Protein backbone atom coordinates (compact mmCIF):
# COMPACT_ATOMS: atom_id res chain seq x y z
CA UNK A 1 0.00 0.00 0.00
CA UNK A 2 2.73 2.41 1.10
CA UNK A 3 0.62 5.54 1.13
CA UNK A 4 0.57 5.75 4.92
CA UNK A 5 2.81 7.71 7.27
CA UNK A 6 3.16 6.89 10.96
CA UNK A 7 3.69 9.65 13.52
CA UNK A 8 5.41 8.89 16.82
CA UNK A 9 5.99 11.91 19.04
CA UNK A 10 7.94 12.27 22.25
CA UNK A 11 10.68 14.06 24.15
CA UNK A 12 12.96 11.04 23.54
CA UNK A 13 14.92 11.82 26.68
CA UNK A 14 16.61 9.56 25.73
CA UNK A 15 15.35 7.47 22.83
CA UNK A 16 15.60 3.79 23.76
CA UNK A 17 15.17 0.29 22.34
CA UNK A 18 11.47 0.27 23.16
CA UNK A 19 10.87 3.32 20.98
CA UNK A 20 12.63 1.61 18.10
CA UNK A 21 10.76 -1.67 18.48
CA UNK A 22 7.44 0.19 18.46
CA UNK A 23 8.33 1.93 15.19
CA UNK A 24 9.54 -1.25 13.50
CA UNK A 25 6.51 -3.24 14.62
CA UNK A 26 3.89 -0.66 13.66
CA UNK A 27 5.59 0.10 10.34
CA UNK A 28 5.42 -3.58 9.40
CA UNK A 29 1.93 -4.39 10.70
CA UNK A 30 0.24 -1.34 9.16
CA UNK A 31 2.34 -1.31 5.98
CA UNK A 32 3.55 2.24 6.58
CA UNK A 33 5.84 3.98 4.14
CA UNK A 34 7.73 5.46 7.07
CA UNK A 35 7.37 6.35 10.72
CA UNK A 36 8.27 9.91 11.66
CA UNK A 37 9.81 10.29 15.13
CA UNK A 38 8.69 13.81 16.03
CA UNK A 39 10.94 15.33 18.68
CA UNK A 40 9.00 17.52 21.10
CA UNK A 41 11.43 20.29 21.94
CA UNK A 42 9.05 22.31 24.12
CA UNK A 43 6.12 20.09 25.17
CA UNK A 44 3.16 22.06 26.56
CA UNK A 45 2.13 19.28 28.97
CA UNK A 46 5.57 19.07 30.60
CA UNK A 47 6.37 22.69 31.34
CA UNK A 48 7.72 21.95 34.82
CA UNK A 49 10.05 19.15 33.75
CA UNK A 50 13.71 19.96 33.11
CA UNK A 51 14.77 18.37 29.84
CA UNK A 52 18.09 17.60 28.25
CA UNK A 53 18.73 20.31 25.60
CA UNK A 54 16.78 19.61 22.43
CA UNK A 55 19.97 19.62 20.33
CA UNK A 56 21.34 16.64 22.30
CA UNK A 57 18.06 14.75 22.24
CA UNK A 58 17.94 15.34 18.49
CA UNK A 59 21.51 14.08 18.12
CA UNK A 60 20.60 10.89 20.01
CA UNK A 61 17.44 10.46 17.92
CA UNK A 62 19.27 10.86 14.62
CA UNK A 63 22.04 8.47 15.67
CA UNK A 64 19.63 5.79 16.89
CA UNK A 65 17.59 5.73 13.68
CA UNK A 66 20.42 5.58 11.15
CA UNK A 67 20.20 1.76 10.79
CA UNK A 68 16.46 1.91 10.07
CA UNK A 69 15.58 3.63 6.75
CA UNK A 70 11.83 3.48 7.39
CA UNK A 71 12.18 5.23 10.77
CA UNK A 72 12.80 8.94 10.22
CA UNK A 73 13.65 11.72 12.71
CA UNK A 74 11.40 14.76 12.29
CA UNK A 75 12.26 18.25 13.56
CA UNK A 76 8.98 20.01 12.71
CA UNK A 77 8.35 20.90 16.38
CA UNK A 78 11.94 21.97 17.02
CA UNK A 79 11.43 24.82 14.58
CA UNK A 80 8.94 26.48 16.93
CA UNK A 81 10.03 28.55 19.90
CA UNK A 82 6.65 28.30 21.62
CA UNK A 83 5.06 25.14 23.06
CA UNK A 84 4.01 22.96 20.15
CA UNK A 85 0.50 21.53 20.31
CA UNK A 86 -0.13 18.28 18.47
CA UNK A 87 -2.91 19.79 16.36
CA UNK A 88 -0.48 22.38 14.95
CA UNK A 89 2.02 19.68 14.05
CA UNK A 90 -0.67 17.63 12.33
CA UNK A 91 -1.76 20.60 10.24
CA UNK A 92 1.82 21.10 9.01
CA UNK A 93 2.33 17.42 8.25
CA UNK A 94 -0.98 17.09 6.41
CA UNK A 95 0.24 19.79 4.02
CA UNK A 96 3.63 18.11 3.65
CA UNK A 97 2.08 14.69 3.02
CA UNK A 98 -1.10 15.82 1.32
CA UNK A 99 -1.45 12.58 -0.66
CA UNK A 100 -0.87 10.28 2.35
CA UNK A 101 -2.95 8.96 5.24
CA UNK A 102 -1.47 9.82 8.63
CA UNK A 103 -1.44 7.37 11.55
CA UNK A 104 -0.75 8.84 14.98
CA UNK A 105 0.84 6.29 17.36
CA UNK A 106 0.01 6.66 21.06
CA UNK A 107 0.32 4.61 24.22
CA UNK A 108 -2.96 3.81 25.93
CA UNK A 109 -2.08 5.91 29.02
CA UNK A 110 -1.71 9.05 26.94
CA UNK A 111 -4.67 8.28 24.72
CA UNK A 112 -7.01 8.00 27.71
CA UNK A 113 -6.19 11.68 28.41
CA UNK A 114 -6.93 12.80 24.88
CA UNK A 115 -9.87 14.99 25.90
CA UNK A 116 -7.30 17.27 27.57
CA UNK A 117 -5.49 17.74 24.25
CA UNK A 118 -6.07 20.98 22.37
CA UNK A 119 -8.78 20.59 19.69
CA UNK A 120 -8.88 16.83 20.17
CA UNK A 121 -11.98 16.42 18.00
CA UNK A 122 -10.09 17.99 15.09
CA UNK A 123 -7.33 15.46 15.69
CA UNK A 124 -9.76 12.57 15.38
CA UNK A 125 -10.96 13.98 12.07
CA UNK A 126 -7.42 14.56 10.76
CA UNK A 127 -5.50 11.35 11.51
CA UNK A 128 -6.10 7.70 12.27
CA UNK A 129 -4.93 6.63 15.72
CA UNK A 130 -2.97 3.50 16.57
CA UNK A 131 -3.21 2.93 20.31
CA UNK A 132 -0.72 0.56 21.95
CA UNK A 133 -2.49 -1.19 24.81
CA UNK A 134 -0.06 -0.89 27.74
CA UNK A 135 -2.35 -2.64 30.21
CA UNK A 136 -5.26 -5.01 29.48
CA UNK A 137 -7.35 -3.02 31.98
CA UNK A 138 -7.18 0.00 29.64
CA UNK A 139 -9.21 -1.71 26.91
CA UNK A 140 -12.63 -1.16 28.45
CA UNK A 141 -11.88 2.49 29.22
CA UNK A 142 -10.70 3.13 25.66
CA UNK A 143 -13.79 1.53 24.19
CA UNK A 144 -16.02 3.58 26.50
CA UNK A 145 -14.21 6.76 25.48
CA UNK A 146 -14.56 6.00 21.77
CA UNK A 147 -18.20 5.05 22.13
CA UNK A 148 -18.92 8.36 23.85
CA UNK A 149 -17.27 10.16 20.92
CA UNK A 150 -18.99 7.95 18.30
CA UNK A 151 -15.66 6.81 16.87
CA UNK A 152 -15.25 3.28 15.42
CA UNK A 153 -12.33 1.11 16.49
CA UNK A 154 -10.64 -2.09 15.42
CA UNK A 155 -8.80 -4.51 17.72
CA UNK A 156 -5.48 -5.74 16.25
CA UNK A 157 -6.89 -6.33 12.78
CA UNK A 158 -9.62 -5.22 10.44
CA UNK A 159 -10.00 -1.96 8.60
CA UNK A 160 -11.70 1.39 9.07
CA UNK A 161 -12.71 2.94 5.74
CA UNK A 162 -12.57 6.60 6.64
CA UNK A 163 -11.87 9.07 9.42
CA UNK A 164 -12.34 9.14 12.30
CA UNK A 165 -11.02 5.75 13.36
CA UNK A 166 -8.85 4.10 16.00
CA UNK A 167 -6.84 0.89 15.84
CA UNK A 168 -6.08 -0.75 19.20
CA UNK A 169 -2.93 -2.86 19.12
CA UNK A 170 -2.31 -5.37 21.93
CA UNK A 171 1.11 -6.90 21.27
CA UNK A 172 3.42 -7.39 24.25
CA UNK A 173 7.22 -7.25 24.42
CA UNK A 174 9.82 -6.87 27.14
CA UNK A 175 11.22 -3.93 25.19
CA UNK A 176 7.97 -2.05 25.69
CA UNK A 177 8.54 -2.04 29.45
CA UNK A 178 11.57 0.22 28.99
CA UNK A 179 11.03 3.88 29.84
CA UNK A 180 13.20 6.97 29.54
CA UNK A 181 12.48 7.73 33.20
CA UNK A 182 13.87 4.35 34.22
CA UNK A 183 16.98 4.90 32.12
CA UNK A 184 17.66 8.29 33.70
CA UNK A 185 17.18 6.82 37.16
CA UNK A 186 19.60 3.97 36.46
CA UNK A 187 22.24 6.39 35.22
CA UNK A 188 21.89 8.51 38.37
CA UNK A 189 22.49 5.33 40.37
CA UNK A 190 25.56 4.47 38.26
CA UNK A 191 23.85 1.38 36.87
CA UNK A 192 24.32 0.13 33.32
CA UNK A 193 21.82 0.99 30.59
CA UNK A 194 23.76 -0.70 27.78
CA UNK A 195 20.93 -3.18 27.16
CA UNK A 196 18.27 -0.46 27.08
CA UNK A 197 19.56 2.03 24.51
CA UNK A 198 21.38 1.78 21.15
CA UNK A 199 25.16 1.93 21.50
CA UNK A 200 25.27 5.22 19.58
CA UNK A 201 22.91 6.76 22.14
CA UNK A 202 24.93 5.41 25.05
CA UNK A 203 28.06 7.00 23.58
CA UNK A 204 26.37 10.42 23.38
CA UNK A 205 25.09 10.07 26.96
CA UNK A 206 28.58 9.25 28.25
CA UNK A 207 30.37 11.89 26.20
CA UNK A 208 28.03 14.62 27.46
CA UNK A 209 27.65 13.30 31.01
CA UNK A 210 23.87 13.23 30.67
CA UNK A 211 21.44 12.31 33.46
CA UNK A 212 24.08 12.04 36.21
CA UNK A 213 23.52 13.48 39.67
Could you give the CA distance from residue 29 to residue 100 in angstroms, rounded to a whole number? 17
**Cα-flanking dihedrals φ and ψ of residue 70, to 5°?**
-85, -5
Average pLDDT over residues 119-128: 96
Confidence check: pLDDT of 1 > 70? no
Average pLDDT over residues 130-152: 95
Using CA atoms of 189, 194, 200, 206 in order, give the dihedral in degrees to the nearest 10.
Answer: 30
Residues paired with 71 in a beta bridge = 35
pTM, full prediction: 0.93
| Candidate from 79-83, 166-170, 203-207 with smallest mean pLDDT | 79-83
Residue range 18-28, pLDDT digits in tens: 999 999 999 99
Sheet of 101-107: strand order equals 71-74, 34-39, 4-10, 101-107, 128-132, 166-169, 153-155
Other beta carbons less than 10 A from residue 200's beta carbon: 17
Share of the chain above pLDDT 90, in %: 80
**Cβ-contact 205, 197 below 8 angstroms:** yes
Other beta carbons less than 10 A from residue 192's beta carbon: 9
Residue range 42-98, pLDDT digits in tens: 766 555 455 789 999 999 999 999 999 999 999 999 887 677 789 999 999 999 999
Q: How does the average pLDDT of the chain come out, rounded?
A: 92
Amino acid sequence: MKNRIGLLGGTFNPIHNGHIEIGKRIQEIFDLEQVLYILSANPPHKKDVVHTPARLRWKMLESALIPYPALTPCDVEMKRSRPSWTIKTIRVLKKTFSDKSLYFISGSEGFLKIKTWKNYRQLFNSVFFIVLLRKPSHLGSIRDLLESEHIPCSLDSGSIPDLPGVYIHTYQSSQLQISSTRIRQRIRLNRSVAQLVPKEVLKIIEENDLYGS
